[in-house]
Amino acid sequence: MMQELRQIIGDWRFLVGLALRVVMVCTVLPWTIRDWFAPFIDQTLAFLSIDPWGSFIAHGGDKLAFPYGPVMYLLFTIPGAIGLALAKLLSIRSFTPFMFGLTVLVVEFLTMSMLVALSRENRREVAWFFWLSPLAIYVNYWYGQLDIVPVLFLVGTFLLLKNARALYAGIALGLGVSAKLSVLLAAPFFLVYLWRNSRQRALFKPFLLGLGCVAFVGAGLVALLPGYGEMVLGSRELTKVYNFALDLGGETHIFLMPVVYSLLLYGAWRIERMSFELFFVFVGIAFFSVLLFTPASTGWFLWSLPFVAFMQSRAGGTTALLGLVFSCLFVLTGLLRATGAEIVPLNLDLTIPMLQLEISPQIKFAYSLLLSSTWICGVLFCLQMFIHGVRRNDFFRLSRRPLAVGIAGDSGAGKDTFASAIAGLFGHESTTLISGDDYHKWDRSAPMWRMITHLDPRGNDLGRFTRDVLVLLDGKSVTSRHYDHQTGRFRRAASVAKNDVVVVSGLHALLINSVREKLDLSVYLDMDETLRTFFKVRRDVNERGRPLEYVLDSIAKRQPDADAYVKPQAQEADIVFSLAVANPLDIERCVARNDYRLNVTMRDGVSAEPLVHTLIGLCGMHVESSPIGRDGLVTMSIEGEIDRDDVALAAEKLRPVMDELLAWSPRWEGGILGVMQLVFLSHVYHVLQRRLSYA
């Protein structure tokens, strides 16, 4: 990313934008900085106080001069002090306004850099749309607002949260709130995003801790200062949320902005699972709506710029044009009606609004048309953000139902082990496991098991199994009992929650057609019979406490049912894993050394070729692969050693768009189980792409 940022800095477009900013910082003196911000900093430095807002008011200052919090004050105090020292050294009236402009320039560059780091693709386009935006240049250097500072903290919060640094992300947002209280509008969206996404829920507490502690100190305790309460909490900016209202008569109103904001927050709650990019766009829509449904101050529009630039770079075409037109119309309306700036070298004072609506009704009507056009462009851009950022977002389309995986195989074939390995990829908190063993009809001691085996469908409640799976895949929770293999008894029924990923494993997981049709990916686990017997004996004797004779007798008794009911399911699977040892005559030694051979059959083998190249070229494994057949079938034979670090490295090559589905830190396995994870993951990616094509 740093190399790309260096390329951006060296590009002529960046240099043009930088030159324009430097010229404006040196020659343009905005009215707000000249009459409000710079005098506030100069005077409070001259009369130091624990309550600089109160001190400024006590010395005759304007109550509207600095409606910002302590973080903003501290940030501009240092350049303000340098400005005072330089003014005294150079014997000029004030150097503080120049230091204000220079600070804004540095903060704006940092914001652009963070926005570039946030973007996974189109990074240069994001930089240009942000850096060359007429809105940014007008608000920061002509109108002279300081909102770029809380915008920096907001973008920094997104960046830290993307890297799973939740505590620091909360601190960054708390600093933003301490700079300007309006940042609180974003806080509920962050909390909803973290709480409603099982994958991110572990980040909720540290994020809330960082946000709460910093905001309490930086905004809560400071609110006890009388001057802060009068200048910041009593600011007219905070009451603007109530200025747009439907008049119901009799002094009764419906305030539009709180209604719209609440609907958007409810919409975020209802989506439940958001990718990070989807979340970023949704917050952008929320901020844009605040601008459209309040008589927002000019500086507030700067809050929309990161989201506008992001969407312009993503959608391009009409969306990019709409964003540009909106920015230009906004600047035009601002130049006509808002206070301006003084061009110092020319001694030209343009601080008075250019347009006085009292001149004539025709001018007032024309300005209203211009303002309406700006609002219409804003609404259309908001709709484009929703269409391209939400409705057409891959993760949004995938998240409307869980990723469903079915795993079938004979007893002792490793179904639970592989199901756990899958849960390790997506995160156990994001995965629901449904085991067919929980649907046995009777306890282990029941006399009916003397007549039929567990592999016989009649020994399992497949009707309830089917209903529960279909309900979970419909996004609802079920209540199910759990079979305890240690005791051979069922535990009390408990709720099984819906989740992002549902893994259905069992002897008959692929037997029922209605279940099979709902699965995104079906896997059958096969195993060399001698190896399966070895594993089953070791598991049932050592882990489940059963006598050796009982286990061997059970294997022999179940074989006819395995042939009749279990093994035919391999014909229905998308992937068949067949595990054997390299030397069948010395199984125990091969198992101890993880010396296995994995045969893989893929029904739709389009993902096989990049997988084979990765396993051979990156992992150094021995792989033999058949060419893809007319029916799409591909077979592979895989041998060799691989550790979990190599598996993780190989996965980076095979999962280009799956970061949002996988856990923050996927649990990669070593050995053949890790290879099975890679095969599974490459096939899942292909399946999701196919599912998107029908969404």
Over residues 294-308, the mean pLDDT reads 82
In this structure, of 105-109, 351-355, 523-527, the range with the lowest mean pLDDT score is 351-355
pLDDT digits (tens, 9 = 90+) for 9-36: 888 999 999 999 999 999 999 999 989 9
Q: How is residue 51 annotated by DSSP?
A: -
Task: Check: CB of residue 473 under 8 Å from CB of residue 502.
Answer: yes
- At which residue do the structure tokens 């007319």 appear? 630
H helix or E strand, kind and range, residue 596: strand 596-602
Q: Output 492 or 523, whichever has higher pLDDT.
A: 523
Distance CA 678, CA 681 (A): 5
Nearest to 638 by CA among 654, 622, 661: 622
Q: What's the pLDDT at 568?
A: 93
| Dihedrals phi, psi of 521, to nearest 5 degrees | -150, 130
- Which stretches does DSSP call E strand in 417-475? 431-435
* Residue 398 neighbours by CB distance under 10 Å: 20
Q: How far apart are CA 642 and CA 651, in angstroms?
A: 13
3-class DSSP state for residue 357? helix
Q: Which residue has the tokens 């670090």?
A: 645
Cα angle, residue 303 at apex, residues 299 and 305 outer, rounded to 5°? 110
Cβ atoms of 76 and 250 closer than 8 Å: no
pTM strictly above 0.85: no
Distance (Å, whole) CA 187 – CA 70: 19
Q: For residue 627, which of 609, 611, 639 has the smallest C-alpha distance?
A: 609
Q: Using pLDDT thresholds of 50, 70 and 90, give the confidence band for residue 244.
A: low
Amino acid identity of residue 489, one-letter, is R
- pLDDT digits 0-9 by tens, 173-212: 999 999 988 888 889 999 998 988 777 888 999 999 999 9
User: What does the buried/exposed string (b/e) look like for 613-628 if buried means 16 or more CB atoms within 10 Å of the residue's CB?
Assistant: ebbeeebebebebeee
Residue 243: strand, helix, or coil: coil
Q: How confident is the model at residue 655 (pLDDT cuts 50, 70, 90)?
A: low
CB atoms within 10 A of CB 611: 26
Report CA dihedral (358, 359, 360, 365) to the nearest 10 degrees. -60
Which residue in this structure is represented by tokens 């409603």? 196
Of residues 393 and 23, the one with the higher pLDDT is: 23
Show Cβ contacts of residue 13 under 8 Å, excluding neighbours closer than 6 positions. 128, 131, 132
- Among 247, 252, 271, residue whose Cα is nearest residue 189: 271
User: 27 phi and psi, to 5 degrees?
Assistant: -120, -20
Among 252, 254, 223, smallest CA distance to 241 is for 254
* DSSP secondary structure code for residue 565 in this structure: I
Handedness of CA 378, 382, 384, 389 (dihedral sign): positive
For the chain, counts of helices (H) and of strands (E):
29, 17
Is 68 in contact with 146 (CB distance < 8 Å)? Answer: yes
Q: Could you give the strand order of the β-sheet that contains 521-527, starting from the edge strand earlier in sequence?
A: 431-435, 501-506, 403-409, 521-527, 575-581, 596-602, 634-639, 622-625
Beta bridge partners of 490: 483
Per-residue pLDDT, 657: 53
Model pLDDT for residues 675-688, shown as the tens digit of each residue:
999 889 888 877 77
pLDDT value at 328 more than 80: yes
Distance between CA 57 and CA 403 in Å, rounded?
A: 60
Whether the per-residue pLDDT at 654 is higher than 80: the answer is no
What is the rounded average pLDDT of the residues 251-274? 75
Whole-angstrom Cα distance, residue 198 to residue 476?
A: 15
The tokens for 101 are 């402009």
Query: What are 635's strand-pairing partners?
Result: 601
Tokens read off for 194: 């973290």
- Other beta carbons within 10 angstroms of residue 182's beta carbon come to 23
Hey, is 332 helix, strand or coil? helix
pLDDT at 497 over 60: yes
| Cα 331 to Cα 586: distance, rounded to the nearest angstrom | 79
Which tens digit of pLDDT belongs to each residue from 24-70? 999 999 999 989 998 899 888 888 889 898 888 988 888 888 888 89
Task: Give a three-class secondary structure readout of 134-187.
Answer: HHHHHHHHHCCCCCHHHHHHHHHHHHHHHCCCHHHHHHHHHHHHHHCHHHHHCH
List pLDDT tens digits, range 581-610.
777 767 777 777 777 888 999 888 777 888
Tokens (6 digits) for 352: 């008075």
Q: Calculate the alpha carbon distances from 543 to 377, 540, 620 in Å.
A: 67, 6, 35
Whole-number pLDDT of residue 474: 85
Q: For residue 404, what are its two tokens?
A: 């469903």
Query: Where are the alpha helices (H) located in 474-592, listed in sequence order?
Result: 513-518, 529-538, 548-561, 587-592
For residues 209-224, average pLDDT: 88
* Angle of the 305-315 helix axis to the 123-131 helix axis, nearest 10: 130
pLDDT of the residue at 247: 57
Residue 250, pLDDT > 80, answer no
